[in-house]
């Protein structure tokens, strides 16, 4: 490992570890940021007290690292922003959010590129990784998700409309 770099998307200062990842097909992130994200997922998968925060963390990370314009990146951004909307504004839990996102990402669906915001929010995966307790972890994930959702404010109306159209106004609980 040789020093640190700033993640091009979330702007977190992370270890410079290019050997960890040669580039994802549609997620933009510095390799050290991706490493922090995979550490977070490992922690969430190994601790049942963190399970409910996992889907929200996935949505926050993916929406905060949209990558470059293309079919997969466009779909990823839309679907994960739909997840943020459903969880933060409509009260969906992780499983209900995942089911709803699967409907939104139906094979025939197409997604235009959403112009990313100038900043993806003030919170990052590093804020969650730093949490010491399960309560702090869940709170940090929620703050992170709210920060990312707020950053995409210019597209929130379109996200809400698409999600509500796909789901027919049903509630996810």
For the chain, domain boundaries: 48-167
Instruction: Tally DSSP H helices, then E strands, for the chain.
Output: 7, 2
Average pLDDT over residues 42-46: 96
Alpha carbon distance 167, 125 (integer Å): 29
89 vs 21: which has the higher pLDDT = 89
- pTM of the predicted protein model: 0.92
Q: What is the pLDDT of residue 1?
A: 46
| 42 pLDDT higher than 90 | yes
Q: Can you read off the two tokens belonging to residue 168?
A: 């027919």
Query: What is the residue-wise DSSP string for 71-136?
Result: HHHHHHHHHHHHHHHHHHTT---HHHHHHHHHHHT-TT---PPPPPPS---S--HHHHHT--SHHH
Q: What is the pLDDT of residues 74-124, one digit of tens each?
A: 999 999 999 999 999 999 999 999 999 999 999 999 999 999 999 999 999
Residue-wise pLDDT tens digits, 138-170? 999 999 999 999 999 999 999 999 999 988 855
Q: Tokens at residue 6, please?
A: 């700033």
């Amino acid at each position: 490992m040789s020093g640190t770099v700033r993640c091009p998307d979330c702007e977190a200062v992370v270890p410079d570890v290019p050997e960890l990842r040669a580039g994802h097909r549609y997620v933009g992130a510095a390799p050290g940021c991706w490493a922090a994200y995979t550490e977070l997922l490992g922690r969430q998968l190994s601790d049942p007290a963190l399970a409910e925060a996992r889907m929200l963390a996935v949505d926050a990370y993916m929406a905060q690292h949209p990558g470059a314009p293309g079919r997969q990146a466009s779909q990823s951004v839309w679907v994960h922003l739909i997840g943020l909307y459903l969880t933060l504004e409509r009260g969906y839990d992780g499983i209900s959010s995942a089911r709803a996102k699967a409907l939104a990402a139906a094979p025939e669906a197409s997604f235009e590129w959403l112009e990313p915001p100038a900043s993806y929010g003030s919170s990052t995966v590093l804020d969650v990784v730093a949490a010491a307790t399960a309560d702090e972890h869940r709170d940090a994930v929620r703050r992170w998700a709210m920060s990312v959702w707020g950053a995409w404010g210019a597209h929130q109306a379109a996200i809400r409309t698409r999600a509500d159209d796909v789901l027919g106004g049903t509630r996810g609980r």
